[in-house]
Amino acid sequence: MDTLLPIAAAAGARLKARGETIAVAESSAGGLISAALLAVPGASAYFLGGAVAYTLPSRLELLGMAREQIIRSSEQSAIFLARAARARLGATWGLAETGAAGPTGPAGRAFIAVSGPVEIAVSIETGLPDRVDNMRAFSREALALLDRALQA
């Protein structure tokens, strides 16, 4: 968490100063993105909620996504997740991550998106075989993307 907290604090301060809110949908990060945002004192001013939408049923039920929006992990799927989180909770911003932390699939590949006044999606490849290391890397990149979007 030590590497995530400074980025989360910066993003949280920007959200709070602007009176804006965030909703999170994460998959392979397993809740680390939300945990980092919530670790910042005063997070209740901007954090509306999040979902670890790891499976098809969770995306359908928790996020209210349509089946046709649930596609293989890609930048587009991350955008759909971010939009769904944002819409479901009525947030200014939606932040989403989907990928494969390992050991199966293309370990270390993730797709991250921010949806709000600015919409951005990126893909990353960590080159790391370790599941926990990838979860941390995905979370760090997601928080950094949020902070960049807030500065745009």
Burial of 97 (0-12, 13-18, 19+ CB in 10 A): buried
User: Is the pLDDT higher at 128 or at 59?
Assistant: 128
Average pLDDT over residues 113-136: 96
pLDDT, residue 57, reads 85
- Residue partners of 149: CB distance under 8 A and separation at least 6: 93, 114, 116, 118, 120
Average pLDDT over residues 97-122: 92
**CATH fold for domain 5-151:** Maf protein (3.90.950)
Q: How many contiguous H segments (helices) and E segments (strands) does the chain have?
A: 5, 5
**Domain locations along the chain:** 5-151
User: 68: pLDDT confidence band, cut at 50, 70 and 90?
Assistant: confident
pLDDT at 56 over 90: no
* CA distances in angstroms from 129 to 28, 103, 108, listed in the order given: 14, 7, 7
User: 86: pLDDT confidence band, cut at 50, 70 and 90?
Assistant: very high
pLDDT, residue 70, reads 77
pLDDT at 60 over 90: no
pLDDT, residue 75, reads 94
